[in-house]
Amino acid sequence: MDLRSAYPYWMLRNGIINTYPSLTENITTEVTVIGGGITGALVAWHLCNAGLATVVVDKRHIGMGSTAASTAMLQYEIDIPLYKLIKLVGERTAIESYKASYQSIPDIKAIASKLNADLDFKMRPSLQFASFKKDIPGMQKEIALRKKIGIKTEWLDEKMLYKTFGIEKSGAIFSNRAAQVDPYVLTHALLEQSIRKGANIYDHTEIEKIIYTPRGVTLHTTEKRVIRSRYIVIACGYESQKYIPRKVQELKSTYATISEPLNRHDLWYKNALIWETATPYIYCRVTSDNRVILGGKDDNKQPAARDKALSLKTRLLTQEFHKLFPHIIFKPDFKWAGYFASTKDGLPYIGMIPQRPRTYFALGFGGNGITFSVIAAQIIRDMLTGKKNDHEKLFSFNR
Ligand SMILES: Cc1cc2nc3c(=O)[nH]c(=O)nc-3n(C[C@H](O)[C@H](O)[C@H](O)COP(=O)(O)OP(=O)(O)OC[C@H]3O[C@@H](n4cnc5c(N)ncnc54)[C@H](O)[C@@H]3O)c2cc1C
């Protein structure tokens, strides 16, 4: 699958952070994680910390799948607002999903604090503005519901929004809990620490056949090597769909661009992560080197057309940004695009399917894919170590 265009910013900025060998012999381990993106790295880190012998394999270079393209806004807000999610999946599942997602932000902060790397991790507030006046009643319902379940937000009316952010829209939800990170560095940092705890990581190692045996799973690579494991975790991002008998993901193309560094340090109030109620939405955030990342303009284009549309999409995104912040000059420095998958209910798929014994899926789809990956790593660690996890059912395939 052509997951993304050639030059996402993180890869240009960081280059080759670490090199990993490809697999040249047959090996045996307790758990093999297929996929060395942010999801596989989080899973491996959690498994190593739980004392499980872990191997990670990736057919590309580590972190160079969708992870390299991610704009890495870490938000608890699920793509579908709580009041709509309740109608889709029922009150209990919706509320618990929001609570799990809310908790994943301090959880990822705690993980980041244990890693010895310049992750560009920062806690930030988030702001979701009303794209249209008609969105306001729903947003106010949303604030009331979130308050009821212990998620504190503030309503900024038209005046307050303009006063605080200089944005001319009819209102916005301001939330204090969100974060941002360099997802590519984070992936390598998680794996580096996993290696120190005994993990073995192989890139340029593609699994082409999975054979289930009574005592485990045998993985065959395209280079004719064999990995024998008791369990496997599929963390293949949007390429995981081929291992699942029914369609669970909807693919779109999405676009991102990053500005030249700007002179001012606080570009807007607390450099919050900003997004909107329209679907698809545009969003922006500020990096620590004072660039603005801007994304959105999703469509149904296939990779060749997607990459051709990059310049046009960058122009359109820039125009939208200047409508929002006429006083900030956004000069695009780099641009990229990629596939982006979502699910019908905005929730991820985590756990097992009957067709694949000893196999755990870690599929963090949607706009907050990375926060879902944190939850996936926790659930799978608990499933593998026999610990009860209250979130297991929420994101299961038979929810
Ligand atoms: C432009 C863009 C912006 C985004 N913005 C955000 C955001 O702001 N916040 C957010 O939370 N999420 C965002 N996302 C989504 C986020 O990037 C994804 O949820 C996340 O990167 C998925 O990580 P992953 O590890 O599951 O997948 P990947 O990074 O794709 O990793 C999967 C790995 O599996 C490997 N693999 C697949 N098949 C095999 C096989 N058979 N054998 C061996 N290896 C295999 C692949 O090579 C790949 O490296 C964005 C995505 C894009 C494209």
* The pLDDT value given to residue 264: 78
Q: Tell me if 41 CB under 6 Å of ligand 1.
A: no
Q: Tell me if 38 CB under 6 Å of ligand 1.
A: yes
Q: Tell me if 67 CB under 6 Å of ligand 1.
A: yes
53: left (phi over 0), alpha (psi -120 to 50) or beta: beta
Residue 134: exposure state from Cβ atoms within 10 A (0-12, 13-18, ≥19): exposed
pTM of the predicted model as reported, rounded to 2 decimal places: 0.98
* The pLDDT value given to residue 204: 97
Q: How far apart are the first and last CA of the chain?
A: 28
Q: Which two tokens stand for residue 382?
A: 């608990």
What distance separates the 2 farthest-apart alpha carbons in the chain? 65
Q: What is the CA 222 to chain-centroid distance, rounded?
A: 28
Q: How far is the CA of 56 from the centre of ligand 1 (A)?
A: 15
Mind spelling out the 3-state secondary structure of 354-396?
Answer: CCCCCEEEEECCCCCHHHHHHHHHHHHHHHHHCCCCCCCCCCC
Scan for tokens 């607390």, then name that residue: 270
Q: How far is the CA of 32 from the centre of ligand 1 (A)?
A: 18
Residue closest via CA to ligand 1's atom 13 equals 70
Q: Enumerate domains of the chain plus CATH numbers.
A: 9-69+184-248+346-385 (3.50.50.60), 122-179+249-342 (3.30.9.10)
Q: How far is the CA of 45 from the centre of ligand 1 (A)?
A: 17
* R_g of the chain computed on alpha carbons: 21
Q: How far apart are CA 202 and CA 35, in angstroms?
A: 10
Q: Which two tokens stand for residue 301?
A: 């284009």
Q: Tell me if 69 CB under 6 Å of ligand 1.
A: yes
Q: Tell me if 254 CB under 6 Å of ligand 1.
A: yes
β-strands 216-221, 207-213 pairing: antiparallel
- Per-block average pLDDT, block size 10, for the chain (399 residues)? 95 94 98 98 98 98 97 96 97 97 98 95 98 97 97 97 97 98 98 98 98 96 98 98 96 97 89 95 95 97 97 97 95 97 95 97 91 98 96 94
Task: Choose among 365, 391, 361: nearest CA to 43.
Answer: 361
* The pLDDT value given to residue 48: 98
Q: Tell me if 370 CB under 6 Å of ligand 1.
A: yes
